[in-house]
Structure 1
Amino acid sequence: MASLAPRSSPARAAAAIALGVGLVAAALVLVVADSWIAAAGFVAAAIVVIGAVVAWRLLAPVAADGARAIDWNITRAVAGASADAVAVTDRGGRLICANDAYEAMFDGFPTPPGLPLDEEANAALAAAARVAWRDGIALVERVEGMDASLTATITRAGDEADMLVWRFAPTEERDLAMTARFLIGGPTGDRLGEAGIMAALMTPHGHVLAANAVLEHRALGHPGSINGRDFVDLLITDSRGLIRFEREGLEGTPLRLIQVPFLNGQDAPMLVVLLDDRDDTPAPGTSASAHVRSLVSLMPFGMALVDREGRFLQMNDAFLRAAGVEATDVPLYPGDLVVREDKTAVADAIRRFAAGATHSTDMAVRLKDHPDEPVALTIAGARGLGDAAVLLSLKNNSEETRLKREVAQATKMQAVGQLAGGVAHDFNNILTAILGHCDLMLMRHSPGDSDYDDIQQIRTNSNRAASLTRQLLAFSRQQTLRPQVLQLPDVVSEVSNLLKRLMGETVRLDVSHGRGLGAVRADPGQLEQVVVNLAVNARDAIVAANPQGGGTLSIHTRAVTPAEVREMEQDIMPAADYTALSVTDTGTGIPADILPKIFEPFFTTKETGKGTGLGLSTVYGIVKQSGGWIFADSKPGQGATFTMYLPVHTVDPATLRPAAPPKPAPKPSELWGQGTVLLVEDEDMVRAVAERALTRQGYTVWTAENGEVALELLRVSDRPDLLISDVVMPTMDGPTMVRHVRERYPDLPVLFMSGYAEEQLRRSIDLDNVAFLPKPFSVQQLAEAAREVLTRP
């Protein structure tokens, strides 16, 4: 980190020097002049000088040291506190920082996504990185490789959002296996050995991952490690099927082998317990059973033992937590844990395994206390465990299910957004042709003609359709934003008068603001649209719940800390400082089956003709494009709350003054032009209307249906005065074509036109000195844009 030395250090040094000089001078005067009065004067003068120096140092402004540099050593130390593998990359894909867990996991410091994994895993990480750059966070649930199964979380970070934080954590099953491996090979395994229990953790292929010391000593005859060895090679079987250690031979003590299923999946490790099966072993249900119960109680995963009558004998603490049961209120039968619909299936499975079934089975059941979230129940037959006949393992996967649901919803919204953007692009091409032909027809008709009003109606309705495409582009996060640093209460104040008129006399508007709100960076006009759309939807819900009148619409802003974000348990939302805006109504609420669909475009619960279904989808797109998050919470009969979270933007307070609106560029007074224009457009109808419009303005127009045809035309023709091209075209897109053209004509003026937003396309165009004309455009707008580009210095 940058140096934080105390400011007063130079002042103290100066004061010490002044004081020393004063004392020396006082001593000389006293010796030479023998005058105490003069000596005291020198001391007083030194004190005055000291006070002046200290005051000057304390009051003088401290010069800025420049931008604070990031101390990556401290960052790496913070990351090192995490058991997960953490790495940071910049916008150029370079590895900036990584912790020790990352180095250990990947055997060095490879740069993600180029990790020592298979091609499929790296492709999934690369795709997730692109999603993280766009949406702020991405998740890859299972990354297979490096003899591990990992969950990768990629988060966009940094003051300028120019870095990615990669976090790799073992999956839950891997965590359990690693925990069991540590317990067996550590002091816990030694305690099991003291109780006469030999335990080992093996791969699905039978190779030993970990074993406690007593098992290793019995298998080898001396202290040592059996890790990596084939477990079967350590054992032998006699003619009666009794198992013994191969080292001890047929005269050795017979063994009782118990396999404990605690993880699901074909690649999951196996836990094996060996017990001496001596002739003098106490009867089943005494010490052997006690040993097994001790083992079960030590397991870090939920396990329980059930007798042949189907009653619980024991359940460990992890099982109690997963089942949501208090230790003082343990049920008698496993069926008492689940809902009534699942009781019969659980009882039948336990009865079948108690009767002698040897394999294991997994069941999805719903617990009585949590009926909405299914959990995984593993049932296996038990042999040699005394009174226990069935072994149960319970895994509460509610968090995993919720996370999968959130990721699936985010993925669906992303796919729908891409579809909406494509539809808006194609629709803008159609509207460009309609508006262009209307303009050309209006040139031949004057007000009062029988067709003039009809043409104007067509043009008006086409403009209304163009506003719908802008809403689709907002949902797909492809509209042009003009962000400013602002405060949310100011945005609410700007639209408060409009909201009061929209609410009418029957709905009360309640606005409140919290303290300590951080500034946000967003387009104020778009945020005003968000507030108005949410308020109108809330008003409709209130009126629908109480047609006679009455109800309250509440708008509240507040500051949200990272700790509060973590308490929300919204895994897709990074923990950071946010400024939140909530809109709450007193309507009837949103049904649970409709709640996941409300942000989808064209989805509406209103009557036919009373809603387009684009209001909330527009809100969703604006919030996401502004780097924020929006969630809806509703309970039937209790109204609904929509909460928008925008990340706090840290800036100098002086920059919070409203920015002056940009001055519009002066429009050319004369639209008539001359010269040659090369028009490249793949849509025939758009190309035809643009050609006619430019020809009417006096230009000579060459046309081409794609980039390759345009390049071929330029090879056999002279240099045109202007190149007008669509951006997205088949075969060869506009930017690629322009790069080839400028190799020959570096100063050729270029005007791009597209149905996508300029902000979205500027990232991919990456060309200097090009103008942009959004579709749909009129004949007038095309003529103005062409004239402006040609007359530009």
Structure 2
Amino acid sequence: MILAAGFLAGLAVAVGGVLLARRLFPAAVTGEAALPDWTMLRAAVNHDDIAIAVTDRAGRLVCANDLFATWMGGFVTPPGLPLEGRGPDLLKNAGRAAWRDGEGVADDVAIGALRMRAQVTRTGQAEDYLVWRFSALERIDLATEIVRHLDGPAGRTLGQAGVMTALVNAEGRLRVANQAFLLRALGEGETAQYTGRDVAAMLRLDDSGSLYFAREGDRATPVRMLQIPLVPADSNGPMLLAMLDEEMGPADRGTAQAYVETLLSLLPFGLAMVDRDGRFLYMNRAFIRAAGVAEGKTPRYPGDIVVGEDKGALADMIRRHSSGQQVGGDLSIRLAAQSDEPVSIRVVGVRGLGEAAVLLSLKDSSEESRLKRQVAQASKMQAVGQLAGGVAHDFNNILTAVLGSCDLMLMRHTPGDSDYDDIQQIRSNANRAASLTRQLLAFSRQQTLRPQILQLPDVISEVSHLLKRLISDTIQLSVHHGRGLGAVRADPGQLEQVIVNLAVNARDAMPGGGTLTIDTYPVSAAEARLLGNDIMPPADYSALKVSDTGTGIPADVLPKIFEPFFTTKDVGKGTGLGLSTVYGIIKQSSGFIFADSNPGKGTSFTIYLPVHRADGDAPVVPVPPVKPKKSQWGTGTILLVEDEDMVRAVAERALTRAGYTVVTASQGEEGLERFAQMEKVDLIISDVVMPTMDGPAMVRALRAKRPDLPVLFMSGYAEEQLRHSIDIDDVAFLPKPFSVAQLAEATSVALDEAARRASHDG
């Protein structure tokens, strides 16, 4: 009845506010609008259960009540409120609906723990205002309510009754406490800044098992403590502690042990109590988690949590320290749940804790170990990636010269010539080497990607004909596409290479035949969160899964499959770059890839690519049609700047043969000198990385004299890697290695693009 009455009262006030708003927007008098009294409207809409704001058609905040400012953290203009998740979009859509239809609703928006329903109404004499109403949904956060009450009159009332109360978080640190608790635990001058302090340090137990506040010393009054969990007992959450002065004398042994267990449960590190017979009496949650104890399988003895080789050493150490001497020692052991890494366990003898004779301390180092492995792996991959990029650059310069020389020689030889086949063989091997350098760049995530907005089924459809030729007749290809797949942003050519590499690996794993299955399906943010993967943030993904029914991957090999040059194939049958290339392409496309294998039953690789969200829900952009090749002949004067003699010589011969006048320079400063001596320059073709003065620095100096100068950069490094140094507008890029035909075509395209820009500017 009280809630209903409050709701009706709030509704009546809100309706009254709307009516008053309408009165404050009268029709224009003698051509001028009367000035509304916003202070009167603000006083009318000011109540405790509905947050209200008014905005005009220009999007300005003209009025809001105090509750709106409290909930929103100030007088913020809707819909730009500090909402969580999809709240801003929902509120924006509600505002648009209100302008269009007169009313809009956002059912569930949140700021922190506060969940609200937003109702937006168009109003005013000319209907040029929006009234935004926010009402709290009935979702009670017990911990938040306790914080509010303990810090107010309820906490003072409990203190007057002699009840000392505190709310602690899962790590045993104070969130809030009443003054009675703070004065006993901290003293008069320490109660101002208490949030986050360790509760266990404020309490102590004597030899008889009585509980005291540590700061009160020997003349302290014993207290009795009650613990009230705010979440299920098996969950890790906040706890309410209530303490009363002990009037019944010292606590018995059972109560003392209960106090000890309560204190141990509050500590953030793993602790366990062991009796004189070497049996567990108690383990806190941190110890269970650190020891990797499975749910429902509580061990009886400490030796049950370690590997067989360490059982004797741990038992001997516990026996030595159970005599009652308060000394301790450390022992390196291997846990049965994670036997690959040793951990340190501390054994301490204790007295005065009832049946407990030994305390075991175990640090949960699983997360630390995992982070160390990830950092080591990332560092190794980065180092090898940098090496791979440098090697690829040098190889690309060599291959450019080899391919160019072969092309020039082929122009002088015809099929049937005795040298023609040899030249073709050299060229074919050079192309194979160029493919290897592209794999190196892909692994090191330095390749040049041409991302497009596309759908995964379209990519698989394009590559499926090739897959049928790659796999043998004994392997069946099965493709399944899920509904509701979102578009992704990736390079279609590189994505096809990923699918082909995975399919070839699957084929090799099924020498006797089997089934190769390719699935695509959507993964929502909620489903991604349920996967429980730390490195993949919750978001909407389009998933691509490639599975086989082959021999599978052994468990000891699975963590290494994405490492460069790691292969299980025979010598000469694999470079070890296939899966590392796949990994590099997916990571460079902002995606994630995971492998799962069951030896003897098959392997599956699952790729998650984030769904592309375009402004205004832009449609998927189809792959543009292939443009006809440009002519390899042209006219004009070109300044060619290249520090590698063999590359410069081949490029000069190729361009001269194509009809261009070519002036060469071996580095940037010489290029500036040659440019100053030339009467006319139609195009600059320059390497990027050169000694003394690099290509971009030279081009900036030339563009200062001639802003419209056309430029074509070429480099053995990938454009992605050089993007920070090539911060110059209107330049083309040609990756090495390139053929004579590719150089001539790129030159023609650059000149045509410069002519188009000149005519457009003119």
Choose the corresponding residue for 1:640, options 595, 600, 603. 603
Which amino acid is the alignment partner of residue 81 of structure 2? N
Q: Equivalences for 1:97-108 in 2 at 5 Å?
A: none
Question: Counterparts in 2 of 1:473-622, with a 5 A limit?
Answer: 473-543=441-511, 549-622=512-585
Counterpart for residue 709 of structure 2: 748
Q: Is 1:461 aligned to residue 429 of structure 2?
A: yes
Is the alpha carbon distance of 1:358 and 1:763 closer, same or farther for their aligned partners in structure 2, counting shifts above 3 Å? Answer: same
SS in 2 for 1:350: helix
Between stretches 377-386 and 213-222, larger displacement belongs to: 213-222
1:663 to 2:671 alignment? no
Q: Using the alignment, how far apart are the partners of 2:297 and 2:414 within structure 1?
A: 88
Aligned partner of 2:82 in structure 1 is 74
**How many angstroms does 1:223 deviate by?**
8.3
Tell me if 1:704 matches 2:712.
no
Deviation of 1:292 (Å)? 3.2
Correspondent of 1:776 among 717, 720, 737: 737
Aligned to 2:205: none
Counterpart in 2 of 1:21? none
**Partner of 1:732: helix, strand, or coil?**
coil
**Partner amino acid, structure 2, of 1:483:** P
Deviation at 1:708, TM superposition (A): 3.8
Change (3 A) 1:758 1:219: closer
Equivalent residue number for residue 687 of structure 1 = 648
What displacement does 1:388 show? 2.7
Distance (Å, rounded) in 2 between the aligned partners of 1:247 and 1:553: 70
Using the alignment, how far apart are the partners of 1:70 and 1:421 within structure 2?
50
Contact 2:547–2:603 (CA under 8 A) maintained in structure 1: yes
**Aligned to 2:549, what secondary structure does the other structure show?**
coil
2:684 corresponds to which residue?
A: 723
The separation in 1 between residues aligned to 2:401 and 2:499, in whole angstroms, is 34
Corresponding residue pairs, total: 583
C-alpha separation in 1, matches of 2:187 and 2:545: 70
Counterpart AA for 1:640 = T
Alignment of 1:369-448 (within 5 A): 371=339, 377-442=345-410
**2:602 is matched by which residue type in structure 1?**
G
CA contact (8 A) 2:591 2:609 kept: yes
Secondary structure of the structure 2 residue equivalent to 1:765: coil
With normalisation by structure 1, the TM-score equals 0.62
Query: How many Å apart are 1:541 and its aligned residue?
Result: 0.1
For the residue of structure 1 that corresponds to 2:425, the secondary structure is: helix
Residue 518 to residue 685, structure 1, CA distance change in 2 (3 Å): same
Separation of aligned partners in 1, 2:474 and 2:423: 42
Deviates more, 1:578-587 or 1:482-491: 482-491
1:628 partnered with 2:628? no
Please report how far the alpha carbon of residue 425 of structure 1 lies from its aligned counterpart in structure 2 after TM superposition. Answer: 1.7
Cα displacement (A) at 1:490: 2.8
Unaligned runs of at least 5 residues, structure 1: 1-64, 81-98, 102-178, 202-207, 235-243, 256-279, 544-548
Q: Distance in 1 between matches of 2:190 and 2:324?
A: 38
Shift in Å, 1:641: 0.6
Shift of 1:598: 1.8
Q: CA deviation at 1:406?
A: 4.2
The CA deviation at 1:212 is: 10
Tell me: CA distance 1:443–1:639, structure 2 relative to 1, closer, same or farther (3 Å): closer
1:434 partner letter: V
Q: How does 1:312-327 map to 2 (within 5 A)?
A: 312-320=280-288, 322-323=290-291
Deviation of 1:366 after TM superposition, in Å, equals 4.3
Distance 1:757 1:374, change over 3 A: same
User: Greater shift after overlay, 718-727 or 594-603?
Assistant: 718-727
Structure 1 residues 742 and 329, CA, compared in 2 at 3 Å: closer, same or farther?
closer
Q: Is the 8 A contact 1:363 1:378 kept in 2?
A: yes
SS in 1 for 2:630: coil
1-structure distance, mates of 2:481, 2:269: 46
What whole-Å deviation, never above 9, does each CA across 1:400-456 have from its counterpart, x for those lacking one? 444543454445434433332322222110101112333444455555554443333
Structure 2 CA distance for aligned equivalents of residues 220 and 488 of structure 1: 62
Per the alignment, in what secondary structure is the counterpart of residue 593 of structure 2? strand
Percent of matched pairs sharing the same residue = 64
The answer on whether the counterparts of 1:374 and 1:397 sit within 8 Å (CA) in structure 2 is no
- Matches of 1:650 and 1:746, distance apart in 2: 37
- Cα contact 1:364–1:374 (8 A) shared by 2: yes
Q: CA deviation at 1:594?
A: 2.0
Using the TM superposition, give the Cα deviation of residue 100 of structure 1 relative to its aligned residue in structure 2, in angstroms. 9.4
Structure 2, unmatched stretches of 5+, are 1-58, 60-76, 89-110, 114-146, 203-211, 223-247, 756-762
Q: 1:70 to 1:744 in 2, by over 3 A?
A: farther
Question: In the TM superposition, what whole-angstrom CA distance separates every residue of 1:304-346 from its partner, at most 9, and x where no partner exists?
Answer: 2223443333334554455465898644422222221221232
Q: CA offset at residue 213 of structure 1?
A: 7.7
Tell me the distance in 2 between the aligned counterparts of 1:78 and 1:653: 16
Alignment of 1:200-215 (within 5 A): none
Cα contact 2:290–2:366 (8 A) shared by 1? no
Residue 788 of structure 1: how far off its partner (Å): 5.1
Separation (CA, whole Å) in 2 of partners of 1:215 and 1:451: 96
Paired residue type of 2:478: D
1:390 deviates by 2.0
* CA distance in structure 1 between the partners assigned to 2:306 and 2:272 by the alignment: 15
Is the contact made by 2:163 and 2:180 (CA closer than 8 Å) also made in structure 1?
A: no
Sort the Cα spacing of 1:450 and 1:389 in 2 relative to 1 into closer, same or farther, 3 A: same
CA distance in 2, matches of 1:497, 1:246: 77
Are positions 1:341 and 2:309 aligned together?
yes
Structure 1: distance between partners of 2:279 and 2:361: 15
Distance 1:749 1:606, change over 3 A: same
Q: Which amino acid aligns with 1:678?
A: L
The 1-side partners of 2:421 and 2:215 are apart by: 103
Residue 738 of structure 1, aligned match among 699, 719, 725: 699
Residues 286 and 759 of structure 1, relative CA distance in 2, 3 Å threshold: closer
What secondary structure sits across from 2:81 in the alignment?
A: helix
1:752 is paired with a residue whose SS is strand
